[in-house]
Amino acid sequence: MTKIDWTRLSPHLPLDGDDPRYIPRPSRGGAQLAAFLKNGMGPIAVTGPVGCGKSTELAVAANSLRLEGITTVHERLDRVMDMHSVQPQNVYARLVRALALMGQTPGVPVVPGSILFPNVPAHEPPPEGWHDRLLRLLRHLRSQSPTGRMALLIDGFEKSPVHAILDTVSFVLSLSTECEMALVVPPSMVTGPDSYSITSQVRRVFPVSPMQVRQARGNDEGAFFFRLFASRISANEPDADPLITSDLQFIVGKAAEFSGGIPRTFLQLVQDAAGYASVNGRELPTREDLLDALKDHTASMKRLLREGDVDLLHRARGTDGLEIPIDARIRLLTHGLLLEHEDANRTVTLSVHPLLDPLIHGKYLF
């Protein structure tokens, strides 16, 4: 068996839209998001708990739109600015830059300098309002697009405090008359009593949700996690067969269950179990190694709980959670401490993250 490089799991790295390691989600993935946009069903607010794959699915949607001939700008604000201290003018300047660069992409007509107004420092007001400037750019690119269509996909707003970006997001959404648009935003921006200003401007909220792994073993969601593991591990080594042992299959299956259906948590758990195996001089993780990893993760999750949260979790599980105070519900869902699942009849049921088993059941339900 090929020696496994566990660092390849890279739980912290979202994938690019054309990354061969991408495994489509059983539902609500990038292809579906792209289909909504292609059919003019935007603007769309993409949201979901941390680690669910929002950035990857947005990148996949952007790639899919490009392949359809739709001129697409995919801007990752979080890779270039501090999302805790976002200034609206920096976001606008960034979008102008992204659109201008798109104008320089081979196959896409160059944006005339008269539209760009180059060399304007981000901290200075532009010679005309940001809105009009962006409008000109979008219209120019759309008119030159082979399909006459333009899409703007923006990632990163979910990392900002809502109050700091409300006006900026609202401004960006005002441009959605000119293009198809999807923005990744924090759950609290589209849920609860203060969400009206944004939900009234979007046509659809697209939740990238945790997958239901624990309650239905061996289903599509379970298979997704095995494929996710194999794709990350065996990239560049098509002959590698990391799933060769049944012991490792057991560990991957259990890690999927305890991930709560959150891809990042799954990759972290497998990597951490492998880390403990390595510490103990083993190539492959055992049940004990995974238990040690679970304990690390449970300790991390417990730090996120506030006084009274355990009672709330007990009350919420198995219900739709509507009786839980809205602020607490959004907070617990954002962290993935509570997991929201929707069945075929669109009935929503909440469950407590399996890593909190020791608090809810007194032990891990291994």
Applying CB under 8 A, among 275, 328, 349, 359 the residue interacting with another protein is 275
Min dist. Cβ of residue 331 to another protein (A): 7
Pairing, β 338-342 against β 348-352: antiparallel
CA distance 352 to 298: 12
Which segment (21-29, 155-163, 167-175, 196-204) binds another protein by CB under 8 A?
A: 155-163
The reply to whether 296 sits near another protein by the rule CB under 8 A is: yes
Min dist. Cβ of residue 41 to another protein (A): 27
The reply to whether 145 sits near another protein by the rule CB under 8 A is: no
The reply to whether 158 sits near another protein by the rule CB under 8 A is: yes
Which segment (121-129, 213-221, 249-257, 266-274) binds another protein by CB under 8 A?
A: 266-274
Q: Which is nearer to another protein, 32 or 89 (CB)?
A: 89
CA angle, 254 then 256 then 262, to 5°: 150
The reply to whether 338 sits near another protein by the rule CB under 8 A is: no
Min dist. Cβ of residue 139 to another protein (A): 30
Which segment (87-95, 97-105, 110-118, 156-164) binds another protein by CB under 8 A?
A: 156-164
The reply to whether 363 sits near another protein by the rule CB under 8 A is: yes
Site for another protein in 220-259 (CB under 8 A): none
Applying CB under 8 A, among 159, 204, 317, 341 the residue interacting with another protein is 159
Min dist. Cβ of residue 317 to another protein (A): 20
Alpha-carbon separation of residue 125 from 91, 95, 175, 249, 306 (angstroms): 13, 15, 19, 58, 43
Tell me, residue by residue from 44 to 73, as one string, x for binding to another protein by CB under 8 A and - for no binding.
Answer: ------xx----------------------
Applying CB under 8 A, among 4, 16, 19, 76 the residue interacting with another protein is 76
In the complex, the residues that contact another protein under the rule CB under 8 A are 6-7, 10-13, 50-51, 76, 78-85, 156, 158-160, 264-265, 268-269, 271-272, 275-276, 278-281, 292-293, 295-297, 299-301, 303-306, 331, 334-336, 363
